[in-house]
Every structure is written in structure tokens, then in C-alpha cells.
């Protein structure tokens, strides 16, 4: 295996001045987005997507990836200084980080979060380097049946993470798949659910759905109760962790990285599940577990390491299988398709510079984040103090312009308005919209794979269970469903989401 | 106490049912084909039927299992934010980007309870519109007229 040669290709791609610049822009935007509560990476990436159309694919993906893992860094800053999660994955960081800040240790908490994230980011990059290629070569042997089952597994996996009842999550998936049907059927050429509108013949652009539901819809929800943010400290001093701190955070960071890396690879996984898992694990095994919730430095180090590791390893299924494990990855797949690249196992062999360049850029980006975050802390602190009522009108405007620029059509703008309203309604009835977006992206592919499978088997549906890999994946999906339904786990899951909401 | 014990489930069940019935009604016009030769109607009908089932279960459950009530619908922000997007769409090709963005951003900003109509806010808005025009129309070349046909009739 030509690992070194591949890494060299990656370095060559990631280290061109042009791509370094885009990486920097990405992580800078990412940190800013992470710092600002009420603006998430999904909405931001959706807004910036139209701008990346003109870039070479490598630069576009390097920048978009930077936004995602950059946001994990930024989220912790807000969690520590304001006790508000800047990002959903930094909810648990607020528990101990904010307490540390109140005790005057904001600097050490911030540094711990940054260092933990950097170490996790570095190790997760290595995990990707070793795990992605073998997975891609297995995936090359997949037939349509395997792909269909894999997508089922991915969608079921996303449910485990969804807040609220299983029934709602399943219904959201169906709604998402259904929306994916709008447009022209590839095989028969007949238009479906287009109301004879020519603009709908090509289907609904997923950027419109993402911006409507995650951008506009979320803003309306945020405006329900506008809260004031209070900074705990205006000036942050004493950034370096002490020798004692180092001793205490060493293992939590490694444990968090390991757990985060595993949870990130799983379908439906990603940064949020990772940080929750790492925090509860650390609370159990730490010798200082009594301090948790009162400013334990381990309680900052472990979840921050885990969410960064999870954010990065969630690229593995996207890069090797072409399957998004969370809404951000769904957007990345969309970005690839727009660039004319068919996501899937062939990306690694057909586009080695893109594949390896993206991976190497993640490590470079983490280094930049470490360098950016601590010295620029003053800037981020000032950014947190930007009130939301200045921010959201700009986001709405950017969403409108961004959607218009997709195909220079006002029809898309109206469509986004509808999805914005829909996004708000979904939040009102406690239906988590993330599975909807995943299903929307996967829908057309799923139908195609189902059609091909059944064509090959002459209509025999048992092939899904007689082909071993497909059977295993469906089996895992069933087990996941059962696990979610088990009373004890169900209670735990509800508690975890309660904690997050509180 | 009302008959509906879980309003959230009730409303979501209703939404799922409406979507499913809609999918079935329109989908029934498409040819089904058979499993080995799926027609355009095959997948939509499967999806709609499943959704119909989930909707029905959710709806029935809302009369049996107690649950949360739906919190008040934030009508003002919803109308203003959605309205501002629609206003942008209506104006951008007719009145031009400058007017469209000014009007739509002013409208969305007024959704906040912190909104005050004062000279500093307007100045900020003007600067924002100017920056947007430079960035999107000049630098990125999105084809939006700065001044639309409404204002230069020629």
C-alpha cells in the first residue's frame, strides 16, 4: 500500500498557497459560526455553498470541511464564557467550563478545550488515513442491494440521535424521502409531484431545503424568546494549563478521542453524540468524579476532544461510501455533486488529490485553529457580544441572496420561504429535522438502488437478506431500532436530551 | 380536560396524514409497475403508505398517551421573517437589489423585540446593503440588477 505516496499527494494539494488560504478562511468562518449561538455550521455551509461553485473542487471542500471542524472549536468558547452552547456539540462543555470560568479559570478552560481539540484532531486525521482506504476498497465490491441496505442503516442510525419520539423521527425520514421524489423520475422520465411547474422538473435543490429549515426556520424559533447574553469575563488571562492540569487532562483527552472517533464513524454519528458520550464516560471513570459539574477540567477536555474527533471521523463514511452521516456531510455530498464528482468509493482512486488533500488539510486546519484560537481570543469574545438582533437580519439576507444565486431564480427564494415555515413548524411539534435532510439527499439514490436490486433479482425482495453484507447491515439497523425502543435505554436517551435542553 | 391528550402528537400526526394522503392521491396517477420493473409510482406509493401508517398511529396515540402541549406559535416573527424572504424575491428583479435588500432586511429586523427605528439602525442597514451590493453583485457577479426596471422605464 502506497500510504506515503498518497500522503505526499495530499500534502502537495493541501499546502498550495491557494488551498492554505481557503483552509484558513474555512476554519476562521467555522470558529466564528461556532462562537455565535444561533448560527450553526449547516446553515453557514449552505449559505457559502453558492460561493464555492467557482472554486476548484479541492479548495471548495477544504474550505467547507474547515467550517465544520472549526465550529467545534468555536462552540466551546461560548460554552465556557457565556454558559450558552455556541454549537449543539458543546452543550456538555458548558457544564464544567462555565464553572471554571466563574472561578476565574476561563483562560485555562479555553486552553484545555483548544489543546484537547488539537490532539483529537491530529489523532482523528490518522484514523481517517488508516481506515478510509480499506473501507473504500470493500465498498467497491458493493452492489445495489448493499448500498440500499447501507442507506437504510444510515437513516436508522440518524434516528438514534434525533430528539423526541421514534415515531416522529421515522416520519421525518419518510417526509424527507418523499421530498426527494419531487422532479423527473430518472428511469421513466415522467415528472412526479411537480404540479406541472417547469422549475420543479429538476427536483428541489437541497441547499434550499437546508437553508429554509436550518437557517430561516431556526431564526424564527430563536426569536420566540430572545435572551440576553452575559459574558462572565471580559478579559481572559492565564492561558497556559499548569503541570497539574496536564496530568489531569492527558487521559481524558485520549479517551475522548477514542470514543469520539468511533462514534463519528457510525452512521448517524458525529460531534454531538461524541461529546455526550465522552462526558458521561469520564464522569464514571475519573478519580475526580465528585468535581464534575463544579469545574472539573476533565469535564472540558474529554468532550471537546471527542466532538472534534467525531466531527472529523464522520468524513469517513462520506468519503468512502458516499453516505452522509449527518446534515453537514449531506451538504458536503451536495457540494461534490455540484462540482461534478460522484461521491462514493471511487473518489479515492479517481480523485486522489481531492481525497488526500482534504484529509491532510484537516490536520493543517487543526494547527491553524490552535494558532488562531488562543491569540485571537479577544476577537471571539467581542464577537460573542454581538447581539442576536443585529445578526439574524444579516443571516436572513444572506440566505435569500444565496438561494437566488443558485440558479438566478426567484422561484427558489419563495420555495425557501415555504421550507422556512415548515422548519419552524417541525420545531414546534418537536420533530427533529436532521433526519429529513439526510433522507432528502439519500432519497433518489435509494429509489435507484432499490429499482436496480429488484430488477436484477426479478422482483425477489429476499435478496436483501440472502446477500450477507446486506443482511448484516439490515440486521444492525433492526438492532439499533430495538435498542432505541428498549425501556431502559429509552429512558437514558430521554435523560440525555433533557440534560441538553436544560 | 380536552379529548386530545397530547396536542404535539395530534398536530404532527395530522401533518403526516395530510402529506401521506396527498402523496397517495397524486401518486395513484403514476404507473406502479411491478417489483422487478418498478414504475414511477412504486416508491412514492410505498412511502406514502408507510407515512399514512405512522400518521394514523401518532394521531390515535395522541388521544391515549398524555404529552406536551404545543407552545404558542410566534406569529409575528414567523410572518415577518418569511415575509422578508418573499419580499426579497418579489423585489429583486423588479425594483433591483438595493431596494429589495433594504426592504427585506428592514422587515426581518423588525421581528426582534429589540428593534428600534432610529438613525443608527438605518445607517447600519444602508452600509450593510452597500456591502452586500459590492460583495454579491460586483465581486461575485450574481446577476441581480442594482436598480431594477421599475426605476428606469426605458
Is A459 at the interface with chain B, CB within 8 A?
Answer: yes
Best to test chain A binding among B4, B18, B40, B107 (most A CBs inside 10 Å): B40
Instruction: Provide the pLDDT for residue A433.
Output: 84
Chain A CB contacts of B113 under 8 Å are 226
Contact B36 A181 (CB under 8 A): no
Task: Name the band, by pLDDT with cuts 50, 70 and 90, for residue A124.
Answer: very high
pLDDT digits (tens, 9 = 90+) for A152-211: 888 887 777 655 678 888 999 999 999 999 988 888 888 888 888 888 888 898 889 988
Residue A235 inside a domain? The answer is no
Q: What is the mean pLDDT of residues A471-480?
A: 89
- ipTM associated with this complex: 0.93
Q: For A224, name the nearest residue in chain B, comparing CA atoms only.
A: B74
Look at A454 and B101 and tell me if their CB atoms are within 8 Å: no
pLDDT mean across residues, chain A: 85
Name the residue among A153, A194, A143 with its Cα closest to residue A173: A153
| Contact state of A401 with B101 under an 8 Å Cβ cutoff | yes
CA distance B51 to chain A (A): 6
* pLDDT confidence of residue A381: 82
pLDDT of residue A498: 55
Of B57, B81, B104, the CB nearest to A167: B57
Give yes or no for residue B37 having a pLDDT over 80. Answer: yes
Predicted pLDDT of residue B18:
94
Partner B contacted by A485 (CB < 8 A)? no
Residue A33: inside a domain, yes or no? yes
SS3 B97: helix
Asked if the model's pLDDT at residue A484 lies above 90, the reply is no
What does the pLDDT read at residue A324?
Answer: 83
pLDDT band at A243 (very low <50, low <70, confident <90, very high): confident
pLDDT digits (tens, 9 = 90+) for A25-84: 999 989 988 888 777 788 888 888 888 888 899 999 999 999 988 888 888 888 888 877
Instruction: Write down the pLDDT at residue B81.
Output: 95
Strand pairing class (A191-192; B33-34): unpaired
- Could you read off the pLDDT of A153-164 as tens digits, one per residue? 888 877 776 556
C-alpha A364/C-alpha B42 separation (Å) is 48
Residues contacting residue B32 through CB under 8 Å, at least 6 positions apart: B39, B41, B42, B45
> What is the number of structural domains in chain A?
1
Output the pLDDT for position A1.
Answer: 53
Whether A20 and chain B come into contact, CB under 8 Å, resolves to: no
Say if A386 is an interface residue toward chain B (CB within 8 Å): no
Check whether B107 has a pLDDT greater than 70. yes
pLDDT at residue A384 above 60? yes
Partner-chain contact B114 A392, CB within 8 Å: no
Residue range of the domain that includes A117: 3-228+242-501
Residue range A372-397: average pLDDT?
Answer: 84
Q: Where are the beta strands (DSSP E) in A76-126?
A: none
Higher pLDDT, B42 or A238: B42
b (16+ CB within 10 A) / e for B21-59: eebbebbeebebbebeebbbbbbbbbbbebbbebbebbb
Here the cell at position A474 is: 439490515
Q: Which region among A2-11, A174-183, A392-401 has the lowest average model confidence (pLDDT)?
A: A2-11
Question: Is residue B154 over pLDDT 70?
Answer: no
Chain A residues 176-215 with CB within 8 Å of chain B: 177-178, 181, 185, 187-188, 190, 192-193
Predicted pLDDT at A406: 84
User: Where do the structural domains in chain B lie, given as residue ranges?
Assistant: 7-64, 75-139
Picking from A188, A424, A429, the nearest residue to B12 by CB comes out as A429
Between chain A and chain B, the number of residue pairs with CB atoms below 8 A apart is 184
Confidence (pLDDT) at A138: 85
The rounded percent of chain A whose pLDDT value lies above 90 is 20
**∠ at Cα A315 (A249, A61), nearest 5°?**
115
- Specify the DSSP element, H or E, that contains A192: strand A191-192
Which helix H or strand E contains A427, and what residues bound it?
A: helix A410-428
3 state DSSP class of A42 = helix
Q: Is A25 in the B-facing interface, judged by CB distances under 8 Å? A: no
Chain A, nearest residue to B82 by Cα: A417
Whether A459 is covered by a domain: the verdict is yes
* CB A299 within 8 Å of CB A95: yes
Which position has the higher pLDDT, A243 or A474? A474
What confidence category does residue A502 fall into, taking pLDDT thresholds of 50, 70 and 90? very low
Closest CA to A240 of A365, A353, A377, A139: A377
Nearest to B113 by CA among B145, B80, B82: B80
* Chain centroid offset of residue A37 CA: 16
Residue A202: inside a domain:
yes
pLDDT of residue A501: 45
Determine, yes or no, domain membership for A234: no
Residue-wise pLDDT tens digits, B78-105: 999 999 999 999 999 999 999 999 999 9
A34 is a domain residue: yes
Exposed/middle/buried for A38, CB within 10 Å: 0-12, 13-18, 19+? Answer: middle
Question: In the structure, what pLDDT confidence band is assigned to residue A368 with cuts at 50, 70 and 90?
Answer: very high
SS3 A135: helix
**Which range is least confidently modeled, A63-77, A255-269, A292-306, A415-429?**
A255-269
- A274: nearest Cα among A244, A307, A241, A249: A307
Cα distances (angstroms) measured from residue A375 to each of A129, A237, A326, A384: 30, 11, 31, 16
Separation between Cα atoms, residue A101 and residue A99, nearest integer Å: 5
Among residues 219-278 of chain A, which lie with CB inside 8 Å of chain B? 219-221, 223-224, 226
Judged against a pLDDT cut of 90, whether residue A248 lies above it is answered with no
| Cβ-contact A206, A444 below 8 angstroms | no
**Using CA atoms, how far apart are residues A254 and A183, in angstroms rounded to an integer?**
47
Amino acid at each position: 500500500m502506497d500510504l506515503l505516496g498518497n500522503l505526499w499527494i495530499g500534502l502537495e494539494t493541501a499546502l498550495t498557497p491557494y488551498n492554505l488560504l481557503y483552509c484558513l478562511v474555512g476554519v476562521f468562518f467555522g470558529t466564528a459560526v461556532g462562537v455565535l449561538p444561533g448560527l450553526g455550521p449547516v446553515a453557514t455551509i449552505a449559505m457559502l455553498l453558492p460561493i464555492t461553485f467557482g472554486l476548484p473542487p479541492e479548495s471548495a471542500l477544504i474550505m467547507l470541511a474547515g467550517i465544520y471542524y472549526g465550529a467545534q472549536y468555536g462552540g466551546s468558547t461560548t460554552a465556557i464564557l457565556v454558559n450558552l452552547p455556541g454549537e449543539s456539540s458543546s452543550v456538555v462543555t458548558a457544564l464544567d467550563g462555565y464553572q471554571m470560568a466563574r472561578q476565574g479559570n476561563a483562560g485555562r478552560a479555553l486552553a484545555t478545550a483548544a489543546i484537547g481539540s488539537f490532539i483529537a484532531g491530529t489523532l482523528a486525521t490518522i484514523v481517517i488515513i488508516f481506515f478510509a482506504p480499506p473501507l473504500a476498497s470493500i465498498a467497491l465490491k458493493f452492489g445495489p442491494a448493499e448500498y440500499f441496505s447501507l442507506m437504510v442503516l444510515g437513516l436508522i442510525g440518524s434516528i438514534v440521535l434525533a430528539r423526541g419520539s421514534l415515531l416522529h423521527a421515522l416520519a421525518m425520514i419518510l417526509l424527507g424521502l418523499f421530498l426527494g421524489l419531487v422532479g423527473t423520475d430518472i428511469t421513466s422520465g415522467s415528472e412526479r409531484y411537480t404540479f406541472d411547474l417547469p422549475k420543479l422538473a429538476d427536483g428541489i435543490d437541497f441547499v434550499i431545503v437546508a437553508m429554509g429549515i436550518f437557517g430561516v426556520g431556526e431564526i424564527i424559533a430563536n426569536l420566540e424568546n430572545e435572551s440576553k447574553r452575559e459574558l462572565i469575563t471580559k478579559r481572559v488571562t492565564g492561558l497556559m494549563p499548569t503541570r497539574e492540569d496536564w496530568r489531569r487532562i492527558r487521559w481524558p483527552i485520549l479517551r475522548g478521542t477514542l470514543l469520539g472517533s468511533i462514534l463519528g464513524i457510525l452512521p448517524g454519528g458525529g460531534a454531538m453524540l461524541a461529546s455526550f458520550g465522552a462526558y458521561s464516560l469520564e464522569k464514571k471513570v475519573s478519580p475526580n468524579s465528585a468535581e464534575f459539574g463544579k469545574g472539573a477540567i476533565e469535564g472540558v477536555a474529554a468532550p471537546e476532544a471527542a466532538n472534534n474527533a467525531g466531527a472529523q471521523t464522520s468524513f469517513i463514511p462520506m468519503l468512502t461510501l458516499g453516505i452522509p452521516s449527518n446534515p453537514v456531510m449531506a451538504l458536503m455530498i451536495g457540494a461534490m455533486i455540484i462540482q461534478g464528482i460522484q461521491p462514493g468509493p471511487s473518489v479515492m482512486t479517481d480523485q486522489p488529490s481531492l481525497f488526500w488533500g482534504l484529509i491532510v488539510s484537516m490536520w493543517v486546519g487543526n494547527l491553524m485553529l490552535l494558532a488562531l484560537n488562543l491569540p485571537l481570543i479577544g476577537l471571539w469574545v467581542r464577537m460573542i457580544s454581538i447581539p442576536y438582533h443585529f445578526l439574524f437580519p444579516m443571516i436572513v439576507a444572506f440566505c435569500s441572496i444565496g438561494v437566488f444565486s443558485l440558479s438566478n431564480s426567484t422561484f427558489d427564494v419563495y420555495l425557501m420561504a415555504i421550507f422556512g415555515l415548515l422548519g419552524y413548524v417541525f420545531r414546534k411539534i418537536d420533530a427533529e429535522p436532521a433526519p429529513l435532510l439526510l433522507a432528502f439527499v439519500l432519497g433518489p439514490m435509494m429509489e435507484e438502488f432499490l429499482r436496480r436490486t429488484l430488477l436484477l433479482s426479478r422482483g425477489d425482495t429476499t435478496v436483501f437478506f440472502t446477500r450477507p453484507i446486506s443482511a448484516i447491515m439490515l440486521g444492525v439497523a433492526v438492532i439499533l431500532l430495538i435498542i432505541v425502543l428498549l425501556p431502559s435505554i429509552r429512558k437514558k436517551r430521554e435523560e440525555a436530551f433533557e440534560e441538553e435542553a436544560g | 380536560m380536552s379529548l386530545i391528550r397530547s396536542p404535539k402528537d395530534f398536530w404532527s400526526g395530522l401533518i403526516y396524514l395530510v402529506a401521506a394522503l396527498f402523496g397517495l392521491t397524486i401518486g395513484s396517477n403514476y404507473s406502479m409497475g411491478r417489483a422487478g420493473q418498478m414504475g414511477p409510482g412504486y416508491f412514492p406509493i410505498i412511502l406514502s403508505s408507510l407515512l399514512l401508517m405512522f400518521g394514523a398511529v401518532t394521531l390515535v396515540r395522541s388521544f391515549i398517551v398524555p404529552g406536551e402541549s404545543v407552545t404558542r406559535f410566534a406569529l409575528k416573527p414567523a410572518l415577518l421573517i418569511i415575509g422578508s424572504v418573499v419580499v426579497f424575491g418579489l423585489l429583486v428583479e423588479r425594483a433591483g437589489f438595493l431596494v429589495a435588500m433594504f426592504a427585506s432586511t428592514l422587515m426581518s429586523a423588525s421581528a426582534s423585540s429589540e428593534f428600534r427605528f432610529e438613525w443608527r439602525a438605518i445607517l447600519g442597514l444602508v452600509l450593510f446593503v452597500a456591502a452586500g451590493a459590492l460583495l454579491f453583485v460586483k465581486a461575485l457577479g450574481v446577476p441581480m440588477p442594482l436598480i431594477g426596471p421599475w426605476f428606469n422605464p426605458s
